[in-house]
Structure 1
Amino acid sequence: MEQLPRGQKAVALYVLEHAREAVSLTASELGKVVGVSEATVIRFASSLGFPGYPEFREALQESLLDQLKALERHQLYQTVGEGNNFIQSVLRQDLQKGINILATLDDRPIEDLARAICESSCINIVGLRSAKGLAYYFSAYLSWFIPETHVLNADMFLENVINARGDSLFIGISFPRYTKRTVQCLALARELGKKTAAITDSPLSPLAPHADILVYAPCSHISFIDSFVIPVGLVNAVLLKVADNLGELTTKRLQELERAWAQYGVYEDRE
C-alpha cells in the first residue's frame, strides 16, 4: 500500500475500513466519499490487477461473502433455496460464474507459471483442507512430466522450505476461507529467496503479497461447500501450458507412461 499514490492510498484505506459500504458504491460515488476523482478510483482498481472498477467491486462482494462462516453460508443457502431442479441449481452457479469471468481472464500469469514450473528443479505444492484435493490433482498430472513434484505436509513446512534447493518453486493454493498455514508457508519461502506462485481467487487474497506469480479465478460457495469447478479449469490450463512448453519431451514421456501402464495393467482393457 505504501507504493500507492496518495489518492489511491486514501481509496484503499476507505475500502479496508468500510468494505460493506464501499461495495454498494459506484466509482464516482466512492470518489466523492473519499475526496478523490472517479479516475483515481478506477486507477486504484487497475493497480490491483482488475480490468476495471466493476470487476474490483465484484471481487469485493465475493470477499464479503467469503467472510461468512460455514454455518452462516448453509443458513443463507437454506433461506434462498435450490429452486425447482436441484442438480441444475447446483451446477448453474458454477457455470454462470465461469461464463461471467471469461472476458476478464488473462493468459499471461498462466504462461508465467508454466514457464517457472519448467525452469524449476523441484515443485512444492501447498494446499490444505478443502484445497488439498486440488493440490493433489495438480501434483498427480504434473508429476508425469516433472518428477520432483511434491505436495507438502503441514507438519514439515518449515523443514521443507529451509532445505529446498535454490531453484525450487513453491506454489500455494488457497481459496476463501484462506488457511493461515498456506499463507505462512508461501511467505516464508519468499522471505528465504525461493520462487513463489499462488493459485487463488483474486488479487485481494492474502497469498497475493507473497507470490512472484499470481494466478487467480473465483471459486463458488454452495452452502457450506467450496466448489472448485473453476479453479480446476485454471489448473488444467496451467498443466496444458506446461505440456506445450516441454515440447517433444511431453510426447516422449506420454509414450513411456503408456507402455508402463500397459505392462503393469494399470487400466482396464476395454477390448
Structure 2
Amino acid sequence: MRNPDSFIRRVRGRLHELTAAERRLADFVLEFPGELASYAASELAPLAGVSNATVTRFVQRLGYASYEEARRQVREEKESGSPLFQSATDSRRGGESLLALHLRQSQVNLSETFARLSERHVAAIVKALVAAPQVLIFGSRSSHAYAIYLRWQIIQALPRVTAIPGAGESLGEHLAGLGARDCVIVFGVRRQTRQMATVLEGAARAGAKILFISDQTSPDSALATWSIQCHCAGPGRLDNHVSVMALCDLIATMVLEAAGPQARKRLAAIEQAHGELDEL
C-alpha cells in the first residue's frame, strides 16, 4: 500500500541515523515535503535552520545523487495530487480563514490516514486484542491522553485493559507479567520519552503482539507487529491530532463488535452497576 521508495518513506526509514542538524531538516520536510519542489537547496536551508552542507548530506543519506534528484521526485509526487506535498505557501493562499484552514487540514489528515489503512490488518489487530488475556496501552506526554482514552473505550468490552504506567507505578510491574498472547498498544506520536523504547523492548522480549501508532514525522519501530502512521500536520505551530482520535474510535468500535455476546453481557453488567451505585 505504500511505496518504499517514496520521498516520505525514505526520510522516515532513516530518522534514527540522522545527526541533530539533519533531524531538524527531516522534521521540516516531513511537515512540509512540498517545499523541496518549491525551493532550491540554498533557499531551503535557512527555512529549516540548517546549513547548505547539511542539505547536501541529508539528500545523499536518503540515497539521492543530488538535491535536484530529490527535488524532481518530490515534484512528481506533488503532481500526483497528494495533499502531503502541498507547500506551506499554497496552504494559506486565497485569504482562507483560520477556521476554514483548520477544518481543511483536519479533513486532509483523516483522509490521508484512513486511505493507508488496510481493513485486513485492522481486523487482525482487533482479533488479537479481543483474544488477549491482557492489553497494555502506553503513551507519554500528549500520547498519554490517547492511551487513557482508548483504554476507557475498549474496557467496555474487554475487562483486562490497563494504561501504563499508572500513578506511582513502574513499567516493570506490568512488563514482568507479559506473555505471547498479550497485546501492547504503544502511542509513539512525537515527542516521546525514553520510556517508550523500554516498553517496546520489554513487549518484544515477552513475545507479545505490538501495535505501534505514530505520526508521519516519527520513526517506525522494527519491533512492532503492526504499525500505523497517523497524519498530524497542523496549519499552525501545533500538530493536529484528529486522525489519532478517529483511529482510537475505529479500533474501539471494531473491538466492541468483535467481542460479541460477552461484550454485550459486560456492557449490561456495567449499566446495572451504574444504576445500583447511582453513579450517573
Change (3 A) 1:84 1:196: closer
CA contact (8 A) 1:125 1:139 kept: yes
Q: Cα distance, 1:229 vs. partner?
A: 1.1
Task: Provide Cα deviations, 1:167-186, integer angstroms capped at 9, x if missing partner.
Answer: 32211112122433213311
- Distance in 1 (CA, whole Å) between partners of 2:112 and 2:255 is 26
Question: What is residue 168 of structure 1 aligned with on the other side?
Answer: 182
| RMSD between aligned residues | 4.3
Aligned runs of 1:85-104 on 2, under 5 Å?
Answer: 85-104=97-116
Change (3 A) 1:137 1:186: same
Pick which of 237-246 and 127-136 moved more: 237-246
Change (3 A) 1:61 1:158: farther
- Distance in 1 (CA, whole Å) between partners of 2:209 and 2:113 is 28
Change (3 A) 1:32 1:196: closer
Q: Cα distance, 1:208 vs. partner?
A: 2.5
Question: What is residue 205 of structure 2 aligned with on the other side?
Answer: 191
Amino acid aligned to 2:211:
A
- Distance in 2 (CA, whole Å) between partners of 1:88 and 1:12 is 32
- Distance in 1 (CA, whole Å) between partners of 2:63 and 2:241 is 38
Q: Cα distance, 1:138 vs. partner?
A: 0.4
Q: Cα distance, 1:32 vs. partner?
A: 9.9
Residue 208 (1) aligns with residue 208 (2): no
Q: TM-score, normalised by structure 1?
A: 0.65
- Distance in 2 (CA, whole Å) between partners of 1:264 and 1:32 is 63
**Residue correspondences, number:** 224
Q: Cα distance, 1:115 vs. partner?
A: 0.9
Question: What is residue 151 of structure 2 aligned with on the other side?
Answer: 139
Residue 109 (1) aligns with residue 88 (2): no
Residue 233 (1) aligns with residue 246 (2): yes
> Per the alignment, in what secondary structure is the counterpart of residue 227 of structure 1?
coil
Amino acid aligned to 2:255:
V
> Per the alignment, in what secondary structure is the counterpart of residue 221 of structure 1?
coil
Structure 1: give runs of 5+ residues left out of the alignment: 1-6, 43-52, 66-75
CA contact (8 A) 2:186 2:211 kept: yes
CA contact (8 A) 1:161 1:189 kept: yes
Aligned mate of 1:123, from 131, 135, 139:
135
Q: TM-score, normalised by structure 2?
A: 0.64
CA contact (8 A) 2:178 2:206 kept: no
CA contact (8 A) 1:158 1:185 kept: no
Pick which of 247-256 and 95-104 moved more: 95-104
> Per the alignment, in what secondary structure is the counterpart of residue 210 of structure 1?
coil
Aligned runs of 1:23-38 on 2, under 5 Å?
Answer: 24=36, 33-34=64-65
Change (3 A) 1:107 1:180: farther
Q: Cα distance, 1:100 vs. partner?
A: 4.2
Residue 264 (1) aligns with residue 274 (2): no
CA contact (8 A) 1:183 1:206 kept: no
Change (3 A) 1:234 1:266: same
Q: Cα distance, 1:102 vs. partner?
A: 4.1
Residue 152 (1) aligns with residue 150 (2): no
CA contact (8 A) 1:198 1:214 kept: yes
CA contact (8 A) 1:122 1:169 kept: yes
CA contact (8 A) 1:173 1:199 kept: yes
Structure 2: give runs of 5+ residues left out of the alignment: 38-59
- Distance in 1 (CA, whole Å) between partners of 2:173 and 2:160 is 17
Residue 180 (1) aligns with residue 168 (2): no
Change (3 A) 1:207 1:32: closer
- Distance in 1 (CA, whole Å) between partners of 2:194 and 2:230 is 20
